[in-house]
């Protein structure tokens, strides 16, 4: 298995609660995030969403799709959302939000290992392409979220 530690940062001219609501409502991601093909609830969580299990199917800039499940482990509205992945990718994803005046900063930490045999076999050579692909998918998410909220996405600094 090949391990990746990937960080994405977005800055949106939006209130933190609006950004939180859009990120928390994962079943609607396919309507604004072009690479999210589907999000299906497998198991409901508690009242805050902890314990929820969802199956995600993603496309990408490279010619492959990935499917994996994520179980929500932390919900701290409106600042932190965390889930564990299992399936074709396994690891931890963490959304962290902060607000300064009219700007919401979003950070996504994705600590994941590949589990597909072909990815593991090719990871020593294709790791840069996998990182690039992740960056492209996440950049599209930032643009899509900004459009969904009707706000401006500031260039990353």
Residues 75, 82: Cα–Cα separation, whole Å? 7
Q: What are the tokens at 23?
A: 């990120």
- Phi-psi domain of 119 (left: phi exceeds 0; alpha: psi -120 through 50; beta: other): alpha
What is the pLDDT at residue 123? 83
> Which tokens is 77 given?
């509205």
Does residue 157 have a pLDDT over 70? no
In tens, the pLDDT along 42-51 reads 999 999 999 9
């Amino acid at each position: 298995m090949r391990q990746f530690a990937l960080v994405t940062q977005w800055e949106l001219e939006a209130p933190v609660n609006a950004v939180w609501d859009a990120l928390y409502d994962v079943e609607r991601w396919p309507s604004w995030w072009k690479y999210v093909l589907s999000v299906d609830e497998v198991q409901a969580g508690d009242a805050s969403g902890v314990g929820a299990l969802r199956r995600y199917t993603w496309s990408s800039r490279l010619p492959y799709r990935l499917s994996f499940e994520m179980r929500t482990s932390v919900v701290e509205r409106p600042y932190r959302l965390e889930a564990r992945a299992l399936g074709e990718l396994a690891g931890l994803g963490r959304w962290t939000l902060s607000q300064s005046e009219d700007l919401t900063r979003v950070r996504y930490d994705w600590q994941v290992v590949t589990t597909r045999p072909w990815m593991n076999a090719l990871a020593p050579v294709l790791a840069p392409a996998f990182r690039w692909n992740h960056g492209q998918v996440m950049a599209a998410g930032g643009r899509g979220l900004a459009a969904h909220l009707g706000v401006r996405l500031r260039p990353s600094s």
